Amino acid sequence: MRILFKLVFTMLALLMTAAPAPALAGVMTHDELVRRFPAPLIVGQKDAELAAWPLFKQNATATELVGYVFESADLAPIPGFSGVPPNMLVTIDTKGGFLDVVMLSQHEPVFLDGLGEGPLLQFVKQYQGLSLKQSISIETNTKRARHPDAAHAYIDGVSKATASVRIINQSVLAAALKVARKKLGFAAGRDPDMIARVRQDVFDSRSTEQLLADGLVAHLRVSNRDVEKLFAGSPGAGLDAQALQRPDEVFIDLYLAYASVPSVGRNVLTARGWTKLKGRLDDGDHAMLVMSTGRHSIIGEEFVRGSVSDRLLLKQDGLPIDMRDLDLELALADSLHLPDASVTALRIISQAGLDPGSPMEFSLPITRSKGIVYPERFTRELKIAYRLPARFYLAGEGNNKSWQGVWGSRRDELLVLGVALAVLALALAMQRRLSANGRRFAWFRAGFLAFTVGFVGYYAQGQLSIVNLTGVAQALLAGRGLEFLLFDPMTVVLWLFVALSLLLWGRGTFCGWLCPFGALQELTGKLAQWLHIPQLKLRGVTDARLKILKYVLLALIMASTLFQTELTDKLVELEPFKTAITLNFVRSWPYVAYAVGLLLASSFVYKFFCRYLCPFGAALALLGRVRLLDWIPRRSECGTPCQTCRHRCDYQAIKPDGKVVYEECFQCLDCVVIYESDEKCAPLMLELKRSRTIPIMPVQRSS
């Protein structure tokens, strides 16, 4: 067992302290770029803030900026099917036009083992001459190829590899948009790293009428007559026979909702639908929900699920932003009264740079065709303006990179947490005084555990988790920074306190006092004892063997970060924290059944999950081995012969010889209460009994 401890601890230490690896970083050097861009072009020095090189051209006595060259993996590392982002060398001019796109590396199985790289190299060549100001779509049906214009561009996809080329397209566009926004003055020169962030802590229950009145849901209702007016006086007029026959019929009745905003998504979707949607979004992603009836739909007959619809476009600051179908079946809330509406969920990845604090312009292109062999196309657009109200997002300010705004918005919660942590630290520092009165201590502990469940867990969402460790490990291994941690201030403050408590007391402070799910388990166990539900206490050997299991699970989860993100995402579900605390049991039934099952198990075996299965607890136990204090008071009689504390320890963390196993101690202080009690501690009771004995002295008689 000692060898296993050392192996797991070593693995964890290596993962947590590893230097950033260049696995997903760019590979270009200045010398290599000079070779690729010979005179008269001049390659400038790499930008200190943005991984891009300026390109210059000598024109007589002046040096003119030609554009920028950059690697997509540096700016938009979007994983492909192998889990590794493709990497393209992209060159754009000063107006946002593509000068060239070259494939540097890719690990897509279809292009490695199937089609070969030839079709892929031809695909990326098509970007040359296109512009970021155009909505670039991948054309999957070459028989109906369309001609580009100032607002639209079409490139041929690769048969049997549509998903892979869509990932490549997103990578190219997201990286180029980031450079264009920061270096070319696109989006009014706004720094793409300082965009607003949707507030996940704000939720208001609203009716459909309130959602519409507040602008949280946009509505567009258009008749056939309205559409015909759009084409009036053009060659496209009169080409829609159905519109001419039934002019008052609804062409489209559309509701558009910014569904990843809690006050929108939770009101327009059922609880299960909201949970399903959130489960498909990564951190920083956005989701738009389109609900419509009528003869026109944003999903055409030839639409491929999972792709980008060309019937609903989004622009912000004049730049197109891709919205990709999530291929989700979502149930609408009954309050919407849209039983016959088609529902489509569209995802906008975080790398696209959508700013929820800026106006958005949605458009529905309506296209009519004239002719059969080589049809002439005529397009008009229906516009929908959308602006998210300010109270639902945190604006990026100055050079704050936006995370400071998150801390400011949660000032009151952080103050409450700070006071609670100060009280806990004082109580633990004065544990013997607190434990002197067993009844008073029991009320204090029960009250603090209720605070942990209610405030830290459900209200402030401060549940620390193995996901915190895997997220750090994956970021370091991928060569990314750890700034993402700052967007969750509750977690940062808790981690700082836990780090200090690990140094002083070990694992027990978090696991015994500050873990919401652990507190929920303990309260469940205490309730079971109060109801006289039989409690199972495992044999010492069985208990010790089962406690090793959580270290094995920890090793598996942390090792998985070296291989596949998808595997890690599955393994971390061994923790029920997300189901029970983050999502408040609003999740698909297998997850709920698992979490509830663990709580039921703790009714019979005290804190079953914490003691035997919790990988995060295992990590804290390993890190807690550096503690400075053996803080539990002991007497010489503890263990020899007194066994009171050992038998009353629900965690079975005291050995027969009286020694405390701090890695398995949850700092419940029950043994300290016994130590201070002259009614429970046998050595103290014996000592007091001896002190109260009146010695028998012989009576001296006077002579």
Cα–Cα nearest to 89, from 24, 172, 192: 172
Q: What is the mean pLDDT of the chain?
A: 82
pLDDT for position 556: 92
Residue 428 structure tokens: 């633990």
Q: How confident is the model at residue 82 (pLDDT cuts 50, 70, 90)?
A: low
Q: How open is the CA angle 451-456-458, to the nearest 5 degrees?
A: 95
- Region of poorest pLDDT, from 43-57, 210-224, 397-411: 397-411
Q: Decide which of 78 and 9 is more confident.
A: 78
Provide the 10 A C-beta neighbour count for residue 573.
14
Q: Decide which of 409 and 75 is more confident.
A: 75
Q: Decide which of 207 and 685 is more confident.
A: 207
pLDDT for position 102: 92
Q: Is the pLDDT of residue 351 over 50?
A: yes
How far is the C-alpha of 246 from the C-alpha of 267, rounded, in Å? 35
pLDDT for position 644: 83
Share of the chain above pLDDT 70, in %: 86
Provide the 10 A C-beta neighbour count for residue 150.
8
Q: How open is the CA angle 657-659-663, to the nearest 5 degrees?
A: 140
How much is the average pLDDT of 68-95? 84
pLDDT for position 3: 44
Q: Is the pLDDT of residue 570 over 60?
A: yes
Element (H, E) at 98: strand 98-105
Model pLDDT for residues 523-563, shown as the tens digit of each residue = 998 899 899 898 888 888 898 899 899 999 999 999 988 87
Q: How confident is the model at residue 318 (pLDDT cuts 50, 70, 90)?
A: confident
Provide the residue type at 165 as one letter: V
Helix pair angle (615-623, 489-504), 10° resolution: 50
Model pLDDT for residues 439-451, shown as the tens digit of each residue = 888 899 899 999 9
Q: How confident is the model at residue 520 (pLDDT cuts 50, 70, 90)?
A: very high
How far is the C-alpha of 25 from the C-alpha of 72, rounded, in Å? 9
Model pLDDT for residues 595-607, shown as the tens digit of each residue = 999 999 999 998 8
How far is the C-alpha of 352 from the C-alpha of 354, rounded, in Å? 6
How far is the C-alpha of 515 from the C-alpha of 510, rounded, in Å? 6
For the chain, count helices (H), then strands (E): 28, 18
pLDDT for position 334: 85
How much is the average pLDDT of 393-414? 65
pLDDT for position 238: 87
Element (H, E) at 229: helix 224-230
Is residue 580 within 8 Å of residue 597, measured between CB atoms? Answer: no
Share of the chain above pLDDT 90, in %: 25
C-alpha distances in angstroms, 173 versus 76, 177, 300, 305, 362? Answer: 9, 6, 24, 21, 19
Q: Is the pLDDT of residue 156 over 60?
A: yes
How much is the average pLDDT of 170-179? 86
> Strand 324-325 to strand 197-198: parallel, antiparallel, or no bridges (unpaired)?
unpaired
Element (H, E) at 291: strand 286-293
Q: Is the pLDDT of residue 517 over 80?
A: yes
Q: Is the pLDDT of residue 470 over 90?
A: no
Residue 342 structure tokens: 């088609």
Residue 515 structure tokens: 């873990």
Q: How confident is the model at residue 221 (pLDDT cuts 50, 70, 90)?
A: very high
Model pLDDT for residues 9-27, shown as the tens digit of each residue = 444 444 333 333 334 457 8
pLDDT for position 459: 86
pLDDT for position 24: 46
How much is the average pLDDT of 624-650? 83
pLDDT for position 5: 42
pLDDT for position 402: 46
How much is the average pLDDT of 110-119? 72
Model pLDDT for residues 407-442, shown as the tens digit of each residue = 776 788 899 999 999 999 998 888 888 888 888 888
Q: How confident is the model at residue 150 (pLDDT cuts 50, 70, 90)?
A: low
Model pLDDT for residues 229-268, shown as the tens digit of each residue = 999 888 888 888 888 999 999 999 999 999 999 999 999 9
How much is the average pLDDT of 166-180? 85
pLDDT for position 692: 64
